[in-house]
Each structure stands twice: as structure tokens, then as C-alpha cells.
Structure 1
Amino acid sequence: MTTNKNLLVELFVEELPPKALKRLGEAFAAVLVEQLKAQGLAAAASRATAFASPRRLAVHVTEVAGRAADRAQSQKLMPVAVGLDAAGQATPALLKKLAALGADASAVAGLRRQQDGKAEALFHDSTVPGATLADGLQKALAEAIARLPIPKVMGYQLESGCELPGWSTVSFVRPAHGLVALHGSEVLLSVTALGLKAGNATHGHRFEAKADPVVLRDADSYARQLREEGAVIAGFEERKAEIARQLRAAAERIGGGVAPIEDDALLDEVTALVERPNVLVCQFEKEFLEVPQECLILTMKANQKYFPLLDAAGRLTHQFLVVSNITPDDPSAVIGGNERVVRPRLADAKFFFDQDRRKTLASRVESLGKVVYHNKLGTQGERVERVRAIAQAIARQWGGAELAAQADQAALLAKTDLVTDMVGEFPELQGTMGRYYALNDGLPQAVADAIEDHYRPRFAGDALPRNEVGVVVALADKLETLVGMFGIGNQPTGDRDPFALRRHALGVVRMLAEKNLPLDLDALLRAAVPAFGDKVQDPSVALRDFIYERLAGSLREQGYSAQEVDAVLALRPQRLGDVPKRLAAVRAFAALPEAAALAAANKRVSNILKKADAVDAHVSEVLLQEPAEKDLYAALQRIAPQADAQFAAGDYAAALQTLAALRAPVDAFFDGVMVNAEQTDLRLNRQGLLQVLHNAMNRVADLSRLAT
């Protein structure tokens, strides 16, 4: 039995792609540990700690055995009648099978007989030696490297002295220069990877390491030695937390309630760029603050990886934070260098802003006719006209002349910032710059806000447009995209959705539902189609189903059961703002003692009506013969009007609760009445009664979908 020790594996490489580093580190650790556990070398309780810095991927694993335990193996060979002759001697087939397993005729006496189905079979029992750590780690390391989510593989020549026979190049995310494999303090010398042999030495910070190389004493000293001797914080999350701490501390030193902008993606990227973070305070000239802060923030974050500082009101200040990878005694040169680098970027933004304001948005409309939108759908100019037409149709359904006029103006100008210099340089600012330029042109605030907001919601959880004009134009813009792309056959397939149609559909859903708009979905889709003329085939039916599918997925993510969602959306409710109330009503109904029986009865009614020809919801009292059908009819006459009134008032829960009183007469009807009577008039009358029942019961949701 071998003693368990902790294991450390590190790949030392050239600078890894920062946006992929976190994922690479997590995947390297997860796969390596998974493979060690699969071979019995790591225990189920073994804990793995991943390390990832710009120049290393590593993992520390607790409780790793030097050799896996031997395991018993039983292998079925063949039926006894095939393996042994009449005298009980091994047949050639059995001997051949044993030879393939590395055994000979002497093993025949030790074979085990066991019933296998109807026949008795021969089994060979053996003990498989456990894998050594060196062999098991070699396999695990190869698998971990092969399964890394590498964004782009590069090939490189092996270093002199490291070349393996027959190898000329290696393919990996970046050239690798070192491999560490330590089991406790023991170096697993036989382990290799990427043309490198395992050792116990790594390298620290390029400029600030106290020792180079850093010779590791054992697996457990890795992080401590790298920090103390190599000036490197090896753990990604530890380094990230240290950067966040320094950012907060620097802001507190400045005072005045300033705080660094919150951006977890930027924080992750900067964490992947430095090994020993050092946060410094820099500044730029206050005159640049005349430029919209979104422009300055974007250029500082995207191009320079700086953290802008905002005041307590959320306004950009002239100071920003830099995360340096060095800690000089005098940081002035580093600060000055970063300030010199950012100044031309901000000057460009100011130049673009000043130049763009010399032309009105209205004067740019004509230029959109020269910008191709889609080869089957024309230019951005043609698209703008379609959005205007759809916006007009929505405004007519919803509001008055003032809303229609403002929506038309916003739709006309919404895309004009696409031909400005600022958006040409920073496409992420489309809409945002349109708002600033609209205000500069003296347009109404509602129109300016709508120009920015018509892209909303841009992602899950994004804010909705802030005013009615914005909602109208945002709906029109998204419906134009959906109808146009569906109309030319560009629906999403599998994971592919190049035109973000799922996002656009969810945006439509969110606006209709969360704003509780008095707009019918089918009417919206029908109103959008004419704007395309003969460019598209009418996709309304397919598009409606697509939107309801997105709605269903969203509702399930919010915690509603698939059964509840199916019951409500089966009716294709036109006012999506009603859907949450319907779902709440269905959930309350499902908790009633009568719910299960009524759901089952509804399912039975639906099946009967499906098999019948077109059934008229009409009942002739003179044809009601059985007491149970008379009682059901009387109950419907008494209960249905009350439930209808509650439904009309929007009190869906009360309507379903009122209908629950039908359980007893419905049960009695199915117990005592033959629906499909031979006499035609009786059969049609009873089917008509069921149709009346079905109509009354299924206004809020299709209750038959609740039946188990």
C-alpha cells in the first residue's frame, strides 16, 4: 500500500490569451483530476485547486496515491458447451481465448462456471494491477491538454535538446517551456508533455522575481514559493480579489465618493494580463469630459484595459485606475506613460464628437440608402422606411397622433448614427450617440431617448425602453428584423442564430409582457408584413410559434413548470401581459382538491370533441333526458356567467375557482350519460353540451394539459 501525497502539475508557457485564461485554467484542472479519479489514483474526496496566470496553467490535487489499488476483474469467455469437450478438456476455441488474455492451458482448472441466461458459461477471474502514478498522470496530462478549450492552436518548433524522435513541431495554444510534476517532494521524472520532461523548477515574474528559476520544495509549497520568491500570485481568483481590493483602496484614497466602474469581464481580462498587480492612479485633462462619457469609458476599457472612476452620481471623473504588472519604487514613469497613451485616444473621441455634431441627423438619412443591409432586403434606407411603416401601425393600435408623429420621427433617425465617425470607430455606441446628436439638434427628449432605446433590450436582463416612443420604435425595429429574416427563410437552426432572432423575439416578448401593452401579438405580426411589399413571403404563422417558444423557455427559466406553461400557452393568448396572471391562476387552481378530476375530465372532453365532426356549442333543453345531463346544464347556466364576468374583469384565479364547482356535475355526467348515443339528435345535443363545458372551462388555460 502506498502513501497518499499531494500532487502539483504545472505547464509553464508563453503569454496565454487573456480572454481565454480563466476557462483554460479551470478546464486543465478539471480534466486532469477527472482522469486521475477514473484511474483510481485520486480519491473521491480529493480536492483540486486550479492556478492560472499569464504564463502558467497548474493544478494542486490532494490525496493522490503513488499507485492505484489492484482491482478484481471477471471476464466472460464462452458457454461451457463451447469451451469444454465431452471429457471436460479445453477446446481449441477456449485455449485461443485464454492466449489472447495472456493465459495458457494451466488456467483452465481455475475458470469459474456461472449460469448466464439459459446456459452455463465460463468466466476468467484475474487481478489487474493498479496504475502507477507516473503512468496514470501521463495519460491524464495528455487528455487534459487534448481537451483544453483552446481558441486557436499554434504550431512551433521544439527547443534544442527537447526534441522527441520524429517530432519537428508541437501544436499548443502558446509555446510551452517547462513542466513540473511533483508528488509530495518527489519529481515524476518519467512524465512528459509537449516535448518537455517533468522537473521541479518553474519561473516567476519576468522582472521582479527574487530567484530564477524557482525550485519547488514540494507540491504544497507551490503557491507560497511563487509569491515569495517569484513575485507571482498564481491563483486566478486570488489575483482577481487582490486587484479588486487595490481598486477599492485606490478609490478610497482619492476620496469624494469616487468608485471604479463595475465590469466583471474587464476585471477577468486584466487578471489574466498581470502576475503581480499594482494599481496606480492616473488622470487626463478635464476638457475631455465634454465628450459623452460613454465614448471615453469605452475607449479606456476596450483599448487600454483601464478602470474609469465615477463619482457618487455615476458621472465620469478625469481620473482612472491602471493595473500595472510591475511595482517600481517610483511609479511616476509608469503613470506618465499610461497618461500619454490614453490622451490620443481621448483626443480622437473628442475630434469625432465635434465633427459629427456639424451635421444634423436628418441630413444623414440619405446616406443610409448607400449602406447595404441585406442583399435580399435592400439598404438601411429601405429598412428605415419599413420600420417607420411598422411603427406607424403600432402607434395607431396603441396611441394617438402625437405618439405616432414622434415614433415616426424617431424611426426615421434611429439608424442615422451608423454613418457618423464616432459609431464608425466604436460600433458599440450605436444608439447612444444617436441620442446625444438628437439632443444637439434640438429634438424632443422623448425622440432622443427613443433613438437610443430602440435597440433595447440588447441582452438578457437589459432595461426596456424608457418611454412609449421608445417602446414603439423598439418593437417596430425587432419586428422588422424578425419578419424580414423569417420571410426570406433565414430562421435560426440549431445553435446558429447569426441575426440574433432569438434575442429579438425575447425582446418583443419582454416589452409586450412587462409593459403590459394593450397589443395583440397576431395583429402586430399582420401589421408588420405589408411593409415588405413583395420582398418576403408572409411568415406570420411560423414567426408566431417561434415567439411563443421563446416565451415558453423564458417562463420555465422563471420557475414555472412545463405543464403550467403548456396549459396557458396552448391557447396562444394574444395579450402577453396577461400570461403571468394566467399562470398564477393555473397554479392556484392546481392546488384545489377538484383540480385533478376536472383536468382529467377536460382531457376526456377534448378527446371526444376531436373525434366528432364540427360541434356547435348549442344545447336544446328539450333533448336533455338523463338527470345527470340536466344537472350539468343547470350548473353551467348558473356558474359559467359568473366565471365569464370574472374572466372579463381579468380575475383569472377567481374564474377558475368558480369553475371548480363543476366537478360534481361533470363526474356525474360521465358516470351516468352515454355521450355518443345512437340517436343522432341526442348525440349532437350531448356533444354540444360538452362544447359549452369545454368553452367555459378553457378560457384561462387548456386545463386538459394539467392531467397527468
Structure 2
Amino acid sequence: MARDLLLEVGAEEIPASFIIPALEDLKRVLTERMADARLKHGEVRTFGTPRRLAVQVRDVADAGEDITKEVLGPSAKAAFDAQGKPTKAAEKFAESLKLSVDALGRTTTAKGEYVSARVEEKGRPAEAILQDALHAAVHGISFKKSMRWGDVDTAFARPVQWLVALLGDTELPVVLGDVKAGRTTYGHRFLAPGAITLKAPADYEAALEKAHVVADIAKRRAELLRKVNAAAKAAGAQLLEDEGLVDQVTNLVELPSPVVGSFEERHLDLPPEVLVQEMKSHQRYFSLTDAKGKLLPRFIAVSNTPVRDEQLSLRGYQRVLAARLADGRFFFDEDRRTPLADRVEKLGRVVWQGQLGTYLEKVERFRALAGWLAQATGRAGEAATVERAATLSKADLVTGMVGEFPELQGVMGREYARAGGEPDAVALAIFEHYLPRGAEDALPSQDAGALIGLADRLDSLCGIFAIGKAPSGAADPFALRRACLSIIRIVLGRGYRFSLSAAVDEALRLLAPKLANVKRKPGEAAPREQVMEFFRGRLKALWVEQHRTDVVEAVLAVGFDDLVAAKKRLEALSVLVGHSDFQPLAAAFKRVVNIVEKQGKDVAGGQTNPQRFTDEPEKNLHTAFTQARARVGEHVRADDFAGALKEITGLKPAVDTFFDKVMVMAEDKDLRENRIRFLTEIGALFNQVADFSKIQAETAAA
């Protein structure tokens, strides 16, 4: 009979950011071990609070499934002698499986014939499987930081206080550190500190709710949002949306209990971002606004218990925030005493990356690159703003406020630029060159900030790749994947037309003095090729979310140097492949490509000679091709790739007739090579939009 499983690790308060990854590890290791042992089960749920990590598995089978598997032994030649009698090798193989030699069979593999046996493997009892699986699960959690306590050699996020391991009503023998598993859990530290004895895993969630613990993270998050929104509404305000803060506070409490506090109205003359950051970063308070989105001198703090004396609690929250705001005002006032321009030189004492130099050197590089981009994109009129804003763009890194709150870089640069009398366009560009900060963030609204942001990120990408520190696996310490996606988003969002490879070349040229002594591994691709391939990979990952993979690959195969044009080609081709008549077109083009690939390498270069054509179908195709090529060129220059594809599609009847009536591989060498050159030119026409040979013709109309 199927039973439910519960595993809970109780500990001292676990950091909020550790909880979700830990639960993912716990669930992954447990389910993988169960799958390996063929132990069937139902729904898997995780629970997490600052004091507990738990996983519940429904309907666990009593034992792993029985299987019959084929086991290969020695080769048939080694197992039997010339007379067909079994050798020692066959006898030992049979003995190892507790079978007679007569029970052995033979199996033919790619490597030859082998002796084999079919062996029945019984599934292990669930208790035995889970004892090992739970041990692996609790010891398989990876934390950013772990600790040891007492004389225990085991490391965990925080000292472990209790363990629960139940299969139905049966306790499983699991040990973590000096704690042995049982059936006892604990509720809220203050509201229900007593022990809770669980009869079965199904009782877990309800028992904790009675003990003032909302163990399900999604439920606790929903309850938190409901309570803070209700508190904001009661205060005549609105909650400033911050999903990250909601997630963080959710995992700081077991029973969310909000209170509304206030701070001195005089602090509202500080930049709103400073106030929000002061409340969020150190205190985890929610900010409140009026109906128009203007910040109010009020906040919501969330405690882990309902407070008995709300005024006493509020005084504590408000006193701590008052001190933080006083610090913020001090930094703001002190920072403004020194103009941003006077801080630029100090960047020469701040290292950006050991081999690539200081922030001052980086600023000088991307300032020049931003000027190059302004010319390349036809924004030369922005050159002065770009020059000034790029010079000042990183100066706020050496201010007190950004030293305290790194998240405010760019924001404080904008504010200090305004305070120092810089033009609004310069101040805005300083802020916007950091945009977008994430996948959902807004793009720069003006060219200056966008161009500086592109240059800054290109300098980082090219520099880090050039010194051999490209991202590998999950490791991306310089956030190059995010930087690359931001470049793509900005270019496409702003509609910038320029050569990406030329921009990479310019970035590498500016980096050259720093790269003179860099040693490369034998056979390693040049930095330019590495960076361009990195862009290709990011583009593919981004575009396959909305387009077919083979269509994306077909477009990227013929180039993406002009990102805007590549996107337009993709959109036009995606529409075309959805038509029922595209499949035969793709098949015809593949035939062209196959002939060119197989035979073209032996054909000398040169142009097609129409005078050499002998058959009417090839003459007709050449006439149609010549007309279509001119019109395709016009469409491509006008970015009308749908029109270009329509012209290309119109060649299909003539191409079909050509293949039906004309022998490409003619005996006459000159005639044969002329026809192959002609097919090469047709292929080149198709390739102005995409490499059609990469499109799966059989699914083109699916």
C-alpha cells in the first residue's frame, strides 16, 4: 500500500536567500535517488521557513519496481573454445550471476558477439531505498556559506535542531550531525514553542498552521501580500511594487505581521531612490506612495509575530530608520560638496579588473568607443553629450552614498550631475547608461545613455574574453551574458544600424595596450571570433523563445552583423515557413545546396556564362533569376525581407523545371562547371535572407 513520505530539517534561522536553492537541492537529490531505485511516487511538495526545510512526497510505493535486464559477459570467442565448449571465462560469468552455463545466451553488438544473460533484479523495499536517499538529500544541500557547531563535523547553513523522517507512520533512521530523525517538529518559536508529534506526513502542514507557521512558501507569500496591501490601504496609501523584497521578506518570517510606521517628512527632499534603498536594503521595509506614485513619509515593516504593543514596536522601527536616513542625508550633503568632474581622477585608484586596469582607464576606452558608435549609428549630433556623460559616468563610484549603497550607482551620478549644474541630457545619460539592469528593466530613453551603455558593455565583453576569462557553465562572475543580452536589447529597441563586428574590432583596438602580454592557448580562437560566437549564442537563446529553432539557425547562419536586419529577416522568414507551399521550396533549395557543396569545390571561380547554356529550361531560369536578383537587391536595401522572399519564392517553378529537364552533371566539363556556377549564384541569392538548407523541410508547414 502506498504511503506518504516527509523529511524536515529544523534549524536555527536560515538566511532568506538560502531557502529556495536549498529546497531545490533537497527535492532534486531525493527524487533522483528514488528514480534510480525505480521507486514510484506521486506529487512532491517542498516547504520552507527560516527555521525549516521540508519535502513531502505523496503515494510512495512499498518497493522499487522489479526489472529484467540483459547483462553482457565476455566475447563469444573468449567464452567458448573451438569445439564450442564453455571456457573458464563463461563459467565464471555464469557463476557471478548464480546461473548455469546452459542459461547463457548470445547477443550481437556493434563490437561483435558476446555472451549474455537475462537477470531479474528485484526492487528494494521502500524503507531501505529511502534511508539512503534521505541521507544523501540532507547531506547534498549546497549552501553559499556553511558553518559547524559544537564538536559536530557536519556543516550546514545553521545549527540543526531537529529532524523528521516519516514514511507513513514509520520513522526512518536518518542522522544529520548529532541529530537523529524522529516524528517531532516544532511550531512558531514564540507563539507555539512546544513540541509537536506527527502521526503521519499528511498531518504536517495543518499541524504547523495550528502552531502559527505557514510552511508553504507560496501561501505565505500570498498572505504577506494580502496583509501589507491591506495595511497600505488602511493608511490611505499604495504599496511600492518590489517583487524581490516580497520574496525576501516571505522567507524572513513564519507568520507575517505588518505594521505601518512613518519618518520625518523633511527627508523627502532626498532622492526617492535613496529613501527606498535605505528602507529596503538595511531594514527590509516596504515603501508607500500616494495615488500618483509619489513617495510618502511612511513605510510598512513586517515582523514574525503579531505585536502586543504596536506603538512600542513602531518606535523601535522608526528609531532605526531615522538613524539610517540621517546617514543617508550626511552622505548626500557631503558628496555634493565635490563636483563629479573633480572625482574622475580618483577612478585611477579603483581597479576594475587586474589585467585590464582601473576604472579611469576603462572610462577612457568606452568614451572613445561611444564616440565611434555615435558616428557609426548616425548620431554624431550627440557627440558632445556622449563625451561629457561618458567622462562622468563612473565618478559616483567614489562617493560615500554609492560606497554605502552600490545599487545606487548611476542614480547618484544623475543627482550629483544635476546638483553640479551639468545639462539635463548629461545627467540623464549618466543614469541611463546602466539600463537595462535586468531582463524586465526599461531601455534608455535617449541616445547618449544608450550609446555609452553599449560601449561600456562591449569594452567589458571584449576585454574579459581577450584575457581568457569567458563564462563557463554557470560561472559568469562579470555578468557577461546579461551584458550581451542588454546590448542586443538596446540595439534592437533603439533601432541602431551599425556593424557589430566592426564595433568589436574597435573595442579590441582600444584594449590593445592591455592585451599585449596576454598569452593564448594553442588552437584557441581569437577574441574577435569568441565574442561574435558569444553573441550568436545569446541571439539564438533569445530568439528561439518565440521562433522555431531551425529558422533562427537559418537566419544566423548567413550573418547577424546588422542586428536589426537579422531580426527583420527572422520575422519575415518565420511568416513564410508557416505557408503550406514553403516545404517544396525548402526541398528545392536543399537540392541546390547539396550539388554546390559536393561538386562546387572542384569548380574554378568565376561568373556564369549565359552563352554556354544549351537547354531552354536553364535559359528560362537564368532570365527569371537575373530579374529576381535585381528586385531582391532592392528589397533587401529597403529592409523589405518579406518582399525579397516573395521574389525568391517566385523562382520555384523555374527551379523545378530546371532540375526535371536539365542534367547538371553533364559530360562536357565546361557545360557542367557553368551550370554549377549558376546554382552557386542561385544559392547566394537565397542566402541574402537565410540559409534555407538548415530549415527542416518536413516540418516547414507544420
Distance 1:62 1:441, change over 3 A: same
Identity of aligned residues (%): 37
Residues 308 and 321, structure 1, Cα contact 8 Å, conserved in 2: yes
Correspondence for 2:277 among 298, 317, 322: 298
Correspondence for 1:176 among 149, 154, 160: 160
Distance 1:585 1:235, change over 3 A: closer
Question: What code does the residue aligned with 1:139 have?
Answer: D
Alpha-carbon offset, residue 59 of structure 1: 3.1
* Structure 2 counterpart SS, 1:383: helix
Residues 373 and 451, structure 2, Cα contact 8 Å, conserved in 1: yes
Residues 4 and 167, structure 2, Cα contact 8 Å, conserved in 1: yes
The equivalent residue for 2:232 is: 251
* Structure 2 counterpart SS, 1:261: coil
Distance 1:59 1:451, change over 3 A: same
Alpha-carbon offset, residue 654 of structure 1: 1.9
Alpha-carbon offset, residue 83 of structure 1: 11
TM-score of the aligned structures, taking structure 1 as reference length: 0.86
- Distance in 1, Cα, partners of 2:421 & 2:65: 82
* Structure 2 counterpart SS, 1:433: helix
Residues 599 and 704, structure 1, Cα contact 8 Å, conserved in 2: yes
* Structure 1 counterpart SS, 2:158: coil
Distance 1:658 1:15, change over 3 A: same
The equivalent residue for 2:141 is: 148
* Structure 1 counterpart SS, 2:651: helix
Question: What code does the residue aligned with 1:360 have?
Answer: P
TM-score of the aligned structures, taking structure 2 as reference length: 0.86
Question: What code does the residue aligned with 2:59 have?
Answer: E
Task: Verify: 1:261 aligned to 2:241, yes or no.
Answer: yes
* Structure 2 counterpart SS, 1:309: strand
Worse overlay, 376-385 or 433-442: 376-385
Deviations 1:352-400 (A, max 9, x none): 1111112221222222233333344333222222222222222223346
The equivalent residue for 2:523 is: none
Residues 18 and 269, structure 1, Cα contact 8 Å, conserved in 2: yes
Distance 1:402 1:307, change over 3 A: same
The equivalent residue for 1:555 is: 543
* Structure 2 counterpart SS, 1:317: strand
* Structure 1 counterpart SS, 2:154: strand
The equivalent residue for 1:163 is: none
Distance 1:656 1:194, change over 3 A: same
- Distance in 1, Cα, partners of 2:678 & 2:35: 66
Correspondence for 2:433 among 454, 463, 468: 454
Task: Verify: 1:689 aligned to 2:678, yes or no.
Answer: yes
Correspondence for 1:586 among 573, 585, 595: 573
Between structure 1 and structure 2, the one with the greater Rg is 1
Distance 1:613 1:385, change over 3 A: farther
Distance 1:314 1:130, change over 3 A: same
- Pairwise mapping of residues 431-442 of structure 1 onto structure 2 (< 5 A)? 431-442=410-421
Correspondence for 2:214 among 200, 208, 233: 233
Question: What code does the residue aligned with 2:12 have?
Answer: E
Residues 300 and 308, structure 1, Cα contact 8 Å, conserved in 2: yes
Worse overlay, 363-372 or 298-307: 363-372
Task: Verify: 1:47 aligned to 2:43, yes or no.
Answer: yes
- Distance in 2, Cα, partners of 1:37 & 1:695: 51
* Structure 1 counterpart SS, 2:498: coil
Alpha-carbon offset, residue 434 of structure 1: 0.7
Say what the alpha-carbon RMSD is for the aligned residues.
Answer: 3.6
Correspondence for 1:659 among 645, 648, 652: 648
Task: Verify: 1:324 aligned to 2:319, yes or no.
Answer: no
Question: What code does the residue aligned with 1:602 have?
Answer: V
- Distance in 2, Cα, partners of 1:552 & 1:39: 38
Alpha-carbon offset, residue 100 of structure 1: 6.5
The equivalent residue for 1:20 is: 18
Task: Verify: 1:62 aligned to 2:58, yes or no.
Answer: yes
Deviations 1:387-441 (A, max 9, x none): 2222222222334653111111111111111111111111111111111111222
Correspondence for 1:600 among 570, 587, 590: 590
Distance 1:629 1:334, change over 3 A: same
Correspondence for 1:9 among 1, 7, 10: 7
Residues 112 and 122, structure 1, Cα contact 8 Å, conserved in 2: no
Residues 615 and 684, structure 1, Cα contact 8 Å, conserved in 2: no
Runs of 5+ consecutive residues of structure 1 not aligned to the other structure: 159-167
- Distance in 1, Cα, partners of 2:259 & 2:381: 52
Distance 1:221 1:470, change over 3 A: same
Question: What code does the residue aligned with 1:422 have?
Answer: M
- Distance in 2, Cα, partners of 1:232 & 1:588: 53
Residues 112 and 123, structure 1, Cα contact 8 Å, conserved in 2: no
Question: What code does the residue aligned with 2:195 have?
Answer: P
- Distance in 2, Cα, partners of 1:506 & 1:679: 53
- Distance in 2, Cα, partners of 1:94 & 1:700: 62
Residues 606 and 704, structure 1, Cα contact 8 Å, conserved in 2: no
Correspondence for 2:554 among 555, 563, 567: 567
The equivalent residue for 1:623 is: 612
The equivalent residue for 2:322 is: 343
- Distance in 1, Cα, partners of 2:591 & 2:421: 64
* Structure 2 counterpart SS, 1:57: strand
Deviations 1:629-664 (A, max 9, x none): 212222223333333333332221122122222223
Distance 1:579 1:40, change over 3 A: closer
Alpha-carbon offset, residue 40 of structure 1: 6.3
Deviations 1:129-157 (A, max 9, x none): 85263x34322210211222333332333
Distance 1:673 1:471, change over 3 A: same
Question: What code does the residue aligned with 1:49 have?
Answer: R
Runs of 5+ consecutive residues of structure 2 not aligned to the other structure: 517-525, 698-702
Alpha-carbon offset, residue 337 of structure 1: 1.0
Deviations 1:142-193 (A, max 9, x none): 02112223333323336xxxxxxxxx64333332222233444x35275544
Question: What code does the residue aligned with 1:245 have?
Answer: R
Distance 1:609 1:260, change over 3 A: same
Task: Verify: 1:206 aligned to 2:199, yes or no.
Answer: no
- Distance in 1, Cα, partners of 2:652 & 2:116: 63
* Structure 2 counterpart SS, 1:154: coil
Question: What code does the residue aligned with 1:249 have?
Answer: A
- Distance in 2, Cα, partners of 1:92 & 1:463: 74
The equivalent residue for 1:215 is: 197
Question: What code does the residue aligned with 1:53 have?
Answer: T
- Pairwise mapping of residues 402-421 of structure 1 onto structure 2 (< 5 A)? 402-421=381-400
Distance 1:47 1:536, change over 3 A: closer
Distance 1:4 1:656, change over 3 A: closer
The equivalent residue for 2:520 is: none
- Distance in 2, Cα, partners of 1:120 & 1:374: 58
